[in-house]
Structure 1
Amino acid sequence: MASAPSPDVAEPPDEIAPVRAGEQLDWPALEAHLRANVGGLDGEFAVLQFPRGSANLTYCVSFGERRLVVRRPPFGKIAPGAHDMGREYTVLSRLHERFERAPLALLHCSDNAVIGAEFLVSEYRDGVVVWDSVPASMAGLPDAGRRIGFAVVDALADLHAVDPASCGLSDLGRPDGYLERQVRGWSSRWDAVAEHAPSAEAGQVVEEVGRRIRAAIPAAQRAGIVHNDYKVDNCQFAPGDPDRVKSVFDWDMATTGDVLVDLGTLLNYWPDRTVAPDSDAAFIAVPGMHGLDLPSRAEVVERYAAGSDLNLSQVAWYEAFGCWKTVVILQQLYARFVRGETTDARMGQRGDFVEPLARRALGLLAP
């Protein structure tokens, strides 16, 4: 049985925790595999979990004083192409050469016999993630929330400025026809879980969003590296520094394609105090995020535009597309709970957000 690391862990208590019931892995097999395939691992083996994520299972594995991050797909039925640890390894083993915010990947194991699924091992980085409040190390700084928000936008613009060929990622995806394939793919993912829609009305609203998305696909302007799940809580900061993102996490859906997809995803997740919370345009944000005092969505677009030559006149479509993808992801998580494939009670609540978020997408797509 893996033991806990020493009690001087620097993370806030909700950033790292004992492994959840039902999400234990074959720790002896994992330890043996890592010792055999990652150099310099000495000392006692221990495991904790990063509990705040809601899809891939992410663990903090220690060998004495050295820490590693181990990620594997969630238990249960996985949508085709989702939770691709091999893709994440490819990205993180190369991208750090041009984008230092990408943690370095150390190992990809495709042998499901080791812990029951493929998995990725990457370097561990100290830092803080902004979830539902300004971190304590930044709370006393002026305009901390706005500075955090602008730093997140700046990091995205820096990523989109990277030439995929400059770090060996020109073959990561197929930019031609990228948006069309994305729309088809997310339509298929919805179809695979639609039978578990929280209600018939919710299913109908999601179907209508899909129809409108497919009818108005914009022409792509420039291809680059697309993270595909870019948001505030996938960014890490150094304690006390709200002005620069230190690390960006969760690269299993990264590809090359229309970079404005990332901007739409970020806007979809962005809480905005300028929008009435009871309107269809309001996002169901993480509780507390509205209190961060982040810049408005309009300011996000303005900040991104200042460092880009792209035409942002159709940004609403990209935001609606991000909204629709989030709806499908929430439905996938809810379906896993309904099928008994996860013991995480949070997944049983994901269905509550499917219809409200789909209606928000409809509002963005309105003429």
Structure 2
Amino acid sequence: MDEIAILSRWLAAQGVELAPGTGLVLLGGGLANRNERIMLASGPAVLRRPPPGELAAGASDMGREFRVMSALSAHLPIVPWPLAFCDDPAVLGTPFLVLEYRAGVAIAGTMPEGAGAETGPLLVDATLAQMIALHALEPGAVGLGDLGKPEGFYARQLAGWTRRAAAVWPEGMPDVAARLIAALEAVAPPGDDAPVLLHMDLKPDNLLVDPVTMVPTAVIDWDMATRGPRGFDLAVLLSYWIEPGDPVAVQALRAVPSLTPGWPGRAAIAARYAALGGRDPGPLAWPLALARLRLAVAWGQLWRKWQRGEMVGDRYAEFETLALAILDHAGDEFRQDRI
């Protein structure tokens, strides 16, 4: 039985009807999780699954995403409604999620063709406004008061990403990774104060927008959401925010359009978060270095999956080189206490 037939039967048992003749239409842009448009009798929806092959512990958690989106969609209209979740990998090979489809574009390394100079600031403000709105929610009031483990957040995050780095490079940790980890371990802040809800990857390509007005229609990719210090969500965004003066090797990241002429730098983004109503995120140099470690390890994980034949595409071939460049840059910036 093909996937559509299996999916149709499973959805029917959940009271959701797949439209006759529908297929799976790949939605582009993502580096890992698979997103495909399907048609239900009620309209378009998205079938969302982890990437194929071996997953790192806690990665691409569709169950967490379903829980978080179910809780948040009633309080934040920007969050699409989740429609169904299957935790049985025997159905389609992995757990999967079916959620409401929202129209819009996800903007990664370059702005859409024809975008005017005014669209950049609009996209920046739209991204930060959604982060601020999320951080303003009281976790217990939206049913997420027990999400994650915010106690000792930074120490646990550092320990977890250190383990993942060791798994990426089992033959021996690269010097740039070992040095950065040692520097972070020496001065790890607790990150225990007033935990808020964190998206953990809230950047423009996880914000669907109208390509002309930059009005947001959805925030997507909630599979890593947790509770912790608000500064880390901002630091994750800044870890992608490459500036023209950064080393050429890291400019290949191109995850956000921050190299667009006239775009603000990282310090300006942090200041804009506060100007738009975000509370003081605290010092950001340490969280940013951790976020860059996390980013580099994630890129290394994708490179290893490509090596094993689990990911298809030439772009993954250079991901280890980019990961090492990110680690080197992170160490340099951290030693200078810069963001």
Tell me, which stretches of 5 or more residues in structure 2 are unaligned?
none
Q: Report the CA distance shift for 1:33/1:293 in structure 2 as closer, same or farther (over 3 A).
A: farther
| Equivalent in the alignment of 1:345 | 314
Alignment of 1:163-242 (within 5 A): 163-195=138-170, 203-220=174-191, 221-242=193-214
Q: Please report how far the alpha carbon of residue 276 of structure 1 lies from its aligned counterpart in structure 2 after TM superposition.
A: 4.4
CA contact (8 A) 1:91 1:254 kept: yes
Q: Please report how far the alpha carbon of residue 209 of structure 1 lies from its aligned counterpart in structure 2 after TM superposition.
A: 1.2
- CA distance in 1 between counterparts of 2:195 and 2:174 reads 33
Partner SS for 1:27: helix
Indicate the larger mover: 257-266 or 36-45.
36-45
2:115 maps to 1:139? yes
2:25 maps to 1:54? no
CA contact (8 A) 1:38 1:106 kept: no
| Equivalent in the alignment of 2:330 | 361
2:84 maps to 1:107? yes
Indicate the larger mover: 108-117 or 302-311.
302-311
CA contact (8 A) 1:268 1:283 kept: no
| Equivalent in the alignment of 1:84 | 61
Q: Please report how far the alpha carbon of residue 40 of structure 1 lies from its aligned counterpart in structure 2 after TM superposition.
A: 4.7
Q: Report the CA distance shift for 1:260/1:316 in structure 2 as closer, same or farther (over 3 A).
A: same
What amino acid is the match of 1:278? Answer: V
Partner SS for 2:80: coil
Q: Deviations over 1:209-242 (max 9, x none)?
A: 1111222222423201111112111111124222
CA contact (8 A) 1:59 1:70 kept: yes
- CA distance in 1 between counterparts of 2:167 and 2:35 reads 25
Pick from 30, 50, 58 the counterpart of residue 73 of structure 1: 50
Q: Deviations over 1:242-294 (max 9, x none)?
A: 2x432111111101111211100000111324x245387x6732496522643
Matched residues, percent identical?
32
Q: Please report how far the alpha carbon of residue 81 of structure 1 lies from its aligned counterpart in structure 2 after TM superposition.
A: 1.1
Indicate the larger mover: 226-235 or 283-292.
283-292
| Equivalent in the alignment of 2:293 | 324
Q: Deviations over 1:139-174 (max 9, x none)?
A: 24x521122112211211111111111211111112
Partner SS for 2:111: coil
What amino acid is the match of 1:258? Answer: P
Q: Report the CA distance shift for 1:283/1:300 in structure 2 as closer, same or farther (over 3 A).
A: farther
Q: Deviations over 1:41-88 (max 9, x none)?
A: 433221111232111111111236721111111111111111110000
CA contact (8 A) 1:235 1:248 kept: yes
- Cα RMSD for the two superposed structures: 2.3
What amino acid is the match of 1:256? Answer: R
- CA distance in 1 between counterparts of 2:26 and 2:258 reads 23
Indicate the larger mover: 331-340 or 63-72.
63-72
- CA distance in 2 between counterparts of 1:357 and 1:54 reads 17
- CA distance in 1 between counterparts of 2:335 and 2:318 reads 28
Q: Report the CA distance shift for 1:336/1:308 in structure 2 as closer, same or farther (over 3 A).
A: same
Q: Please report how far the alpha carbon of residue 363 of structure 1 lies from its aligned counterpart in structure 2 after TM superposition.
A: 1.4
| Equivalent in the alignment of 1:21 | none
Pick from 299, 302, 313 the counterpart of residue 268 of structure 2: 299
Indicate the larger mover: 109-118 or 202-211.
202-211
- CA distance in 1 between counterparts of 2:112 and 2:15 reads 33
What amino acid is the match of 1:205? Answer: V
- CA distance in 1 between counterparts of 2:71 and 2:256 reads 35
2:248 maps to 1:278? yes
What amino acid is the match of 1:179? Answer: Y
Q: Report the CA distance shift for 1:62/1:292 in structure 2 as closer, same or farther (over 3 A).
A: farther
- CA distance in 2 between counterparts of 1:88 and 1:179 reads 22
Count of residue correspondences: 334
Q: Report the CA distance shift for 1:210/1:277 in structure 2 as closer, same or farther (over 3 A).
A: closer
Query: TM-score when scaled to structure 2?
Result: 0.91
Q: Deviations over 1:102-140 (max 9, x none)?
A: 11111110111111011111100011221233335x724
